[in-house]
Structure 1
Amino acid sequence: MSVHAPGPRYVLGVDIGTTSVKVLLLEAKSQAVVESQTRETGAELSSPEGEQAREQDVGQIVSALHCCVTALPRERLCRVARIGVSGQMHGVVLWNEEGCKWQETEAGFTFQPGKTSHLVTWQDGRCYHAFLASLPQPDSHLALASGFGCATIFWYTRNRHQFLQNFTAAGTIQDYVVAALCGLRKPLMSAQNAASWGYFNTRCGTWNLRILTESGFPTRLLPDIMESGSVAGMTFREWCGVPKGTEVGVALGDLQCSVYSCMANKTDAVLNISTSAQLCFALPPDFQPPDCPNTTSSIAYFPYLDRTYLAVAATLNGGNVLSCFVSMLKQWMQEFGLDVPDCTIYSQAITSALSVTHTELVVEATVFGERHLPGRLGCITNISPSSLSLGHVTRALCHGVVHNLHSMLPGQRLAESGVRRIVGSGSALARNPVLKQELEKIFTLPIVYREMADSAVGVAMVMLDRV
């Protein structure tokens, strides 16, 4: 690791999530997190494509990133020797040669989006089932789904073809940040993020170029592929106090980085409940995924590091289900002329649920459907007058979130695969003791919680350990 200034050396870890940005400084020698900042992006946008579209303002995301970085001590930023960037998988942002404009501020040089599209996130639903069925079959073990980068670009190709002519490059939001920091004319993408886009063969590490070209896909937009954990380049100028020439890793997936931050043993399974939720465990080094996707399977095999794989049950229903519940309650109260803050509603719901140890109410918490069961939505059964209190409904909702995960990857399957304990992490799990109680009821394996387990920590550790 090169040294730009005397004193302790640091790795800057960046995670660009669905709703917030987090940055931290990891001290190289002790591997301790010494500084951390988090900002909500407030980047959600309405889209002319309708209710199913999920888009975000790239400028808002970049602004939140700069707020976080500039809030870190400048005397430590000047000692950063490496930068690791992770972020929300599957989504896509498009840009061209003017996609980034640098400017000098009191905090140093920062960049602002130039000619970029909105970020179409992993939550996007415009690629409905019939549209996906009309696309060519990928040469990949991973099934295609709405919100995947290649599916979204196909949608633009067929519905707004002229729109794509404005751009020369595409990537995830984290790929865009790395390209901006390194001054890359053509973006680089890790196998982790490429696999999350679709039409990528993880065995040979290449895009399905023939299939895509024959189907009219604009392959000129696709990033070049790099091995996960490698260096994409160096900062081509000083950034918010971080020195010019600092190594920047190729962007990684937030799931894999979250796992890396807290999987102390290969016999650990990692459960993350944030906006969505994932339960996963590491597969043996000789594991190879099947040739074709199993669209009805609840388990997918995602590339990890060193060409190994994670077995992943990735549900679309996590903390977002609870947020939806809070929004519903807030709307009801507004209709009665009351304006109660979201945090107050959430806190009272959890408090009420803690007083209820058991409920007969059953909530199937698949409000946002599932990729392997696209037609499945939420359902409430076994309703009785005694189970309609706020505590009963909140308890049943938390149980439903955990039960859905267990149905996708049962505890017995984990044990049979050699898993000895579950490591729980994620913002929704950390702030919700009811979720923890339901988790411990449903899964019989020992469970430990890691408050510091997150993607920003994980990507910093990857840059420290593996480059």
Structure 2
Amino acid sequence: MKYVIGVDLGTSSVKVLLVDQTGSVVGEVSRSYPLIQEKSGYSEQDPNQWVEKTIEALAELVANFPGNPSDIEGISFSGQMHGLVILDEQLQLLRNAILWNDTRTTEQCEQIYHIVGKEKLLKITKNVALEGFTLPKILWVKQYEPNIFEKIHVFMLPKDYLRFRITGKIHMDYSDAAGTLLLDIAKKEWSGELCEALGIDPTICPPLVESSDLIGTLTKEFADKTGLSEATKVFAGGADNACGAIGAGILSSDKTLCSIGTSGVVLSYEERKDRDFKGKVHYFNHAKENAYYTMGVTLAAGYSLSWFKEVFANDENFNDFVSGIEEVPVGSNGLLFTPYIVGERTPHPDANIRGSFIGVDSKHTRAHFIRAVIEGITFSLNESIEIFRGAGKKIDTIISIGGGAKNDTWLQIQADIFNAKIIKLASDQGPGMGAAMLAAYGCGWFDSLDQCADRFLDVVKVYEPIPDNVKRYRELFKIYQEVYEHTFVICKSLMKYRK
């Protein structure tokens, strides 16, 4: 039996999966690392931590592997998007990485619009300028750390730095490059026009590759530290959302994904590079060659629920915490929640908006609040689905992964609010499985990623929308959509009182 490894480099931890030729996960290890938050809105990490913790995780995985390490043929990666890692001419780190959830760059987003123009930016990158993207971070360094900016030899994204330390080779795949705001999405090349307009040397942009491309093999040092064979093939990998899509089988135009983690994502496969969503949702290159995907994001999806649990039920396990929500009626007896607790992205790119409970009544119990939080998260994700449908996309089947796929009641709520069939898979490994599938395909186990998905992924349950619930949720969704318009001015006024 042969094996591959999928490495999922997340925001809070790295997870490594050992997967065999049947698609079974036969080993799994994770290691966490800290965020560095020196100021409000800042979010950084030390890239050395990614490397050290990945080495630890892989060493444990290999130590517990009963076979020969040479049977592990390949390794690939999924990584947190949009982060900025910069190296000097000696390929040494110039500073900590600035992460996707760092919001210090509002000023730089405005500069991009002023210099480039929103329409031209959309034409080239298919996306609007948001604080989380990589380009505004580069411009922030240029403006506030000019001595560091002058020393930049190359920039890369988090998983690309990890792969560089594993192989000594520098590349970036198209799916991650699409999230930098410097890639011409349709042409699949770095935009010289944007670089010139914004005073960025285009030579700092790394060579571009496909996610399934073979990059090299392990360095002797890395092999010695992990116990892996030096002959282990290393493949480029992709952005976490693109890999999550692969790991859920989103490989054809009739497939849509709902992924609920810390943030929430609705992602739909696209074959064409010329669709126009006018920047309302993200439009990125897929980790599948010559394919694309559109994506809407709820910034605090699972985080909204974990926040509520930590504040009001920190000592309970999750199953006890959510028990009883199935007894609460649709709409939580008139209680609405908007999950804007850290701002929002789709359809409201607003760093200042904050969450609300609307309609609190003395008869509401804790279970009503918990269900209202879950419904509010799902309403927010439905905003993205309605944008896709409004652009002519047919969405009637959705594969659900992540935290939202771990509870039967929540899966039924998704079916009713989305008015679509919800598919639950046997494997809920998402991005890590997608990375492993890229390695399996790259190693030649399958002729296509589609064939790999057919072998690796199994459906365990299907949730059908209940017509009466669909009707009631449709009415509530219209009310939910009004909350933003009635609270964004209030939230902006409250900013000065936040610490």
TM-score by length of 2: 0.78
Map Cα deviations across residues 261-285 of structure 1 (whole Å, 9 max, x no partner).
222773232111111111122223x
The CA deviation at 1:326 is: 3.1
The CA distance in 2 between the partners of 1:54 and 1:68, in whole Å, is 24
2:83 matched residue in structure 1: 91
The CA distance in 2 between the partners of 1:290 and 1:418, in whole Å, is 14
The yes-or-no answer on 1:60 pairing with 2:49 is yes
The CA distance in 2 between the partners of 1:434 and 1:150, in whole Å, is 40
List runs of 5+ in structure 1 lacking aligned partners.
1-7, 100-113, 331-339
1:192 matched residue in structure 2: 175
The yes-or-no answer on 1:423 pairing with 2:406 is no
The CA deviation at 1:122 is: 1.0
The CA distance in 2 between the partners of 1:265 and 1:436, in whole Å, is 22
Counterpart selection for 1:14 from 7, 16, 21: 7
The CA distance in 2 between the partners of 1:21 and 1:127, in whole Å, is 26
The yes-or-no answer on 1:42 pairing with 2:33 is yes
The CA deviation at 1:327 is: 3.8
The yes-or-no answer on 1:379 pairing with 2:365 is no
The CA deviation at 1:299 is: 5.3
TM-score by length of 1: 0.83
**1:258–1:455 Cα contact (<8 Å) kept:** yes
The CA deviation at 1:394 is: 1.0
The CA deviation at 1:307 is: 1.1
**1:178–1:251 Cα contact (<8 Å) kept:** no
**1:272–1:425 Cα contact (<8 Å) kept:** yes
- Structure 1 letter corresponding to 2:358: T
The yes-or-no answer on 1:121 pairing with 2:99 is yes
Map Cα deviations across residues 21-40 of structure 1 (whole Å, 9 max, x no partner).
11111223x2332222223x
- Structure 1 letter corresponding to 2:440: L
Map Cα deviations across residues 246-302 of structure 1 (whole Å, 9 max, x no partner).
221113111111111222773232111111111122223xx12358x724x135354
1:397 matched residue in structure 2: 373
The CA distance in 2 between the partners of 1:244 and 1:289, in whole Å, is 42
Map Cα deviations across residues 59-84 of structure 1 (whole Å, 9 max, x no partner).
33333322221111443433221111
**1:411–1:445 Cα contact (<8 Å) kept:** no
The CA deviation at 1:51 is: 0.6
The CA distance in 1 between the partners of 2:27 and 2:35, in whole Å, is 28
The CA distance in 1 between the partners of 2:202 and 2:270, in whole Å, is 32
The yes-or-no answer on 1:349 pairing with 2:321 is yes
**2:81–2:176 Cα contact (<8 Å) kept:** yes
Map Cα deviations across residues 333-379 of structure 1 (whole Å, 9 max, x no partner).
xxxxxxx54xx275543125344234110111122333352334322
Q: Compared with structure 1, are the counterparts of its residues 64 and 317 closer, same or farther at alpha carbon in structure 2 (3 Å cutoff)?
A: same
**1:398–1:434 Cα contact (<8 Å) kept:** no
The yes-or-no answer on 1:366 pairing with 2:334 is no
- Structure 2 letter corresponding to 1:16: L
The CA distance in 1 between the partners of 2:172 and 2:250, in whole Å, is 27
The yes-or-no answer on 1:249 pairing with 2:235 is yes
The yes-or-no answer on 1:222 pairing with 2:205 is yes
Work out the percentage of aligned pairs sharing the same amino acid.
22
The yes-or-no answer on 1:70 pairing with 2:63 is no
For 1:282-297, list aligned pairs within 5 A. 282-284=269-271, 287-289=272-274, 294-295=278-279, 297=280
Counterpart selection for 2:143 from 155, 158, 164: 158
Counterpart selection for 1:31 from 14, 23, 27: 23
The yes-or-no answer on 1:277 pairing with 2:264 is yes
List runs of 5+ in structure 2 lacking aligned partners.
444-499
The CA deviation at 1:165 is: 4.2
- Structure 1 letter corresponding to 2:415: E
Q: Compared with structure 1, are the counterparts of its residues 304 and 82 closer, same or farther at alpha carbon in structure 2 (3 Å cutoff)?
A: closer
Q: State the superposition RMSD in angstroms.
A: 2.6
The CA distance in 2 between the partners of 1:119 and 1:461, in whole Å, is 28
The CA distance in 2 between the partners of 1:77 and 1:145, in whole Å, is 43
The CA distance in 2 between the partners of 1:56 and 1:412, in whole Å, is 34
- Would you say how many aligned residue pairs link Structure 1 and Structure 2? 422
**2:130–2:349 Cα contact (<8 Å) kept:** no
For 1:329-344, list aligned pairs within 5 A. 329=312, 340-341=314-315, 344=316
The CA distance in 2 between the partners of 1:265 and 1:156, in whole Å, is 37
**2:127–2:281 Cα contact (<8 Å) kept:** no
Question: Which protein is richer in helix relative to its size?
Answer: 2
